[in-house]
Structure 1
Amino acid sequence: MPRIERVIEGEGAVQQIPAELERRGLKRALLLTGKSIGATEQFGDLVNALGEKAAGVYTRVEAHNPVKRLAELVEVALNVDADVVIGIGGGSAIDAAKLTALGIGEGIHEGHDFLRYSISHGLPELKGNPLPVIAVPTTLSAAEWNGVAAFVDDTTNTKELTRYLVLTPNTVVLDPALCALTPRNLWTTTGVRAIDHAIEIAYATNAHPFTTALCVAALRTLAADLPRTSLDPNNVEAALRCQQAAWMSLVGVHNVPVGLSHAIGHQLGAAGVPHGVTSCITLPHVMRFYAEATEPQQTVMAAALAEARGSAVPLSAPEELELLFATLGVPRQIREFGLSPEALENVVRATMGEAEAVIRQAPRTVTAEDVRELLKQAY
């Protein structure tokens, strides 16, 4: 099970962070976020509330965490003598906190040295102890619930993953009021990402009843509440339910992995398609690719999606999903992002490079030609 020690949730939960640091005897926090959150009044209020415990503030986290930035983050943490890293924002900010914690524990000083700790390079045994991490998510990407972190090798434009249970945030703070600051297109597309987690974990070949039950519940909740929150960012009750559903969608990922939609999405992300949007584009096509092999699971998914829209007569699961996507108004085609044929061929290559790590529990065999055809359908 993930190593989460405490979850603080509810409107205003972010105000409990100073007390949480005090409870755990932590004195020098490095706060990591992106420019948007970093410029908000709420972020400034948190820094002020932390007082001397805010040893450092970094507001330049970039999407997908290019390795050239990671060494800079470690240097900042060292310079302020941080004893805890607080990631505030979407998946990139929370992954940045995990990677900074890893870099401190392993004595990493050069960005490309992080590649040695990626899944594709074998995940060597850790020699040190990562710093503790506190995660304050403002999207539904669910990075806060596990020890997986993504970054981009900016020399090859390939997305890499690291995965260590000890990188899991120790404390997670779910504050739906803070999520109201998130642009609605980002909120809804990361919500689709959580749906992608739930679907791919539920039909993995090593799916477990515990994780499957959570995933189906997550799917039902997100299908019902994501449209509500996409229209009204101040519906804090629905927003918190979405945050809890994102938690349920990914709690078992260290045991039951996500699959092909994520593998393709990782590499589309490295090529420039926003995180979350990739799931909007790939998931229905991947579900159809797996339809025969996962018919029992997709029947359950279709019923949950139909129930959320008030129907007792479900369509197929991919059709139900496309109805939801139409309601949300999310992007649906790769062509909207101007990727070249060469870039797409690199996506095929890099996706197959994740075969052992991400597609290892695929419901059917996946070839490079399959990926190429799925990209063609999604184009």
Structure 2
Amino acid sequence: METIEPRRYRFTGHERVLHNVSAIETLPDVLSMFGYRRVFVVCSRSIRTKSTFIERLKATLGERIVGLTDEVGEHSPLSNVLKAARQARDADADVIVSVGGGSVMDMCKAMQLCISENAYDRDSLLRLQFVLSEDGTEMLTTSRAPAAIRQIAIPTTLATSEWTPVSTPIDDETRLKARFVVPDGSPQVILYDPALLRQTPARLLMSTGIRGLDHAINTACSSAPHPFASLLAEKAIALYVHNLPKLVDGSEIDAFTQCQLATWYTGMGQMSVPHGFSHWMVHIIGPYGGIAHSDAACVLMLAQAKWLEGWVKPQHERLCTAIGQPGTPFHAILHNLLVQLAMPTTLDDLGLSRARLDAMIAPALEHPMVTRNNVRPIETESDLRAVLELAWRA
């Protein structure tokens, strides 16, 4: 009889997910459902200045809004996190509503940690970074305070940050990513509004979709897969590949809905299995290179697919079949998708020189996750340079 290895599935604390709704119309009822009366809004600068959404939200919620900030910044600098946490505390907010992408939601999670732990300075907050489980496959929180405030998320991108309690804001002083697992950090409620998604610039939307796709691929090709997570990931990958190209001209509203559904499938599984190189190396190239996470994910996702060719043959075959292209190399499918979307495929496309990348080797080797949980080992400097060499050519 075949032995079935034990696997853990991690529920991440969401209480409601509302899909294909109007966020403006739905949010008041959601607030009432949970008894929230004092809302602190965190949004992206572009949502506030280049759309009418925030003004409409103010008109709808009125005096329920007790504070608002659009001072988020790329990679959510810790200084902005701490400032916003103090503002939410001083406003006596009882819930945070996020409107934006991964940086906005990451900032809100870190704000939650500040408020719950009464940690309003850099050193106090950095002491709360996550630790790894004994087997190195799971990230564990070091916070012991119960959640003092929760987040309601209205995502405007496709990178799946709304599905995890993990927050990785950038430390202004070191330019390194801080790493937190926030108790009850996953949003209490997610509101998926495809009409709002259509207001996001197409290139940003597609690149964050690639980041979501990269998460799903890491789940499906994990070093310790879970059958439920893999099933969801395979469905998500097919949805991303088929629907991301339809976002180019924005004419098919159902494509936006299907891509949000793909983030849902991806998010439901990604915290239950360890992810590999492409997920984590983004955290080095992003802040060190001044490159958006999603752009870096395009290149690293493709390089990892080449690196794993032959090492995860059954997984790649299932994915190719789910996409509808059996017999095609998986990395070729990804390359064709990136070209179709006019996304970067090489480190050169990102504007990185070999000299700049050399400076990232040591931080990558020191990172707690980059060299862990890779099906094809990436453990030494030689391994790391070998996989990055694949990222220099399409």
What TM bracket, shorter-length normalisation?
Answer: over 0.9
* Deviations 1:213-268, CA, capped at 9 Å, x for gaps: 00000001111111112221x53221111011112112223320221001111111
1:235 is aligned, of 252, 257, 261, to 252
* Deviations 1:79-123, CA, capped at 9 Å, x for gaps: 211110111100000111111111100111113432222236974
Q: Match for residue 358 of structure 2?
A: 345
Tell me, yes or no, if structure 1 residue 248 matches structure 2 residue 248. no
Tell me, yes or no, if structure 1 residue 333 matches structure 2 residue 346. yes
> Secondary structure at 2:179's aligned position in 1?
strand
> What is the deviation of 1:165?
4.7
> What is the deviation of 1:359?
5.1
1:363 is aligned, of 369, 375, 379, to 375
Larger helix fraction of residues: 1
Q: Match for residue 291 of structure 1?
A: 309
> Secondary structure at 1:231's aligned position in 2?
coil
1:230–1:116 distance in 2 versus 1, CA, 3 Å: farther
2:214 is aligned, of 191, 196, 199, to 196
> What is the deviation of 1:340?
5.1
> Secondary structure at 1:37's aligned position in 2?
helix
Q: Match for residue 182 of structure 1?
A: 200
The CA distance in 2 between the partners of 1:87 and 1:242, in whole Å, is 20
The CA distance in 2 between the partners of 1:180 and 1:220, in whole Å, is 21
1:280 is aligned, of 298, 308, 326, to 298
Range that drifts further, 147-156 or 183-192: 147-156
What amino acid is aligned across from residue 376 of structure 2 in structure 1?
R
Q: Match for residue 36 of structure 1?
A: 46
> Secondary structure at 1:225's aligned position in 2?
helix
Q: Match for residue 262 of structure 1?
A: 279
> What is the deviation of 1:31?
0.4
The CA distance in 2 between the partners of 1:253 and 1:268, in whole Å, is 21
Tell me, yes or no, if structure 1 residue 315 matches structure 2 residue 324. no
The CA distance in 2 between the partners of 1:94 and 1:360, in whole Å, is 26
Tell me, yes or no, if structure 1 residue 72 matches structure 2 residue 80. no
Identity of aligned residues (%): 28
> What is the deviation of 1:155?
2.1
Q: Match for residue 70 of structure 2?
A: 59
> Secondary structure at 1:126's aligned position in 2?
coil
TM-score (norm 1): 0.93
CA contact (8 A) 1:29 1:55 kept: yes
> Secondary structure at 1:86's aligned position in 2?
strand
1:83–1:242 distance in 2 versus 1, CA, 3 Å: same
> What is the deviation of 1:365?
1.9
> Secondary structure at 1:75's aligned position in 2?
helix
> What is the deviation of 1:7?
1.0
Aligned length: 372
Q: Match for residue 171 of structure 2?
A: 153
The CA distance in 1 between the partners of 2:106 and 2:126, in whole Å, is 15
The CA distance in 2 between the partners of 1:48 and 1:346, in whole Å, is 49
1:358–1:85 distance in 2 versus 1, CA, 3 Å: farther
Tell me, yes or no, if structure 1 residue 21 matches structure 2 residue 31. yes
CA contact (8 A) 1:14 1:173 kept: no
CA contact (8 A) 1:11 1:236 kept: no
1:81 is aligned, of 86, 89, 92, to 92
Range that drifts further, 25-34 or 157-166: 157-166
TM-score (norm 2): 0.89
Q: Match for residue 114 of structure 1?
A: 125
**RMSD after superposition:** 1.9
> What is the deviation of 1:145?
1.0
> What is the deviation of 1:30?
0.6
Q: Match for residue 111 of structure 2?
A: 100
* Deviations 1:268-320, CA, capped at 9 Å, x for gaps: 11121112111111111112212222111111122223x1xxx5x43110011
> What is the deviation of 1:338?
3.6
> Secondary structure at 1:129's aligned position in 2?
coil
> Secondary structure at 1:55's aligned position in 2?
strand
The CA distance in 2 between the partners of 1:30 and 1:112, in whole Å, is 25
What amino acid is aligned across from residue 32 of structure 1 in structure 2?
V
Q: What residue ranges of structure 2 are gaps of 5+ in the alignment?
A: 1-10, 133-139
1:213 is aligned, of 223, 231, 239, to 231
2:16 is aligned, of 6, 10, 30, to 6
What amino acid is aligned across from residue 277 of structure 2 in structure 1?
L
1:265–1:240 distance in 2 versus 1, CA, 3 Å: same
1:160–1:349 distance in 2 versus 1, CA, 3 Å: farther
* Deviations 1:37-63, CA, capped at 9 Å, x for gaps: 012212210122111111111011111
> What is the deviation of 1:154?
2.3
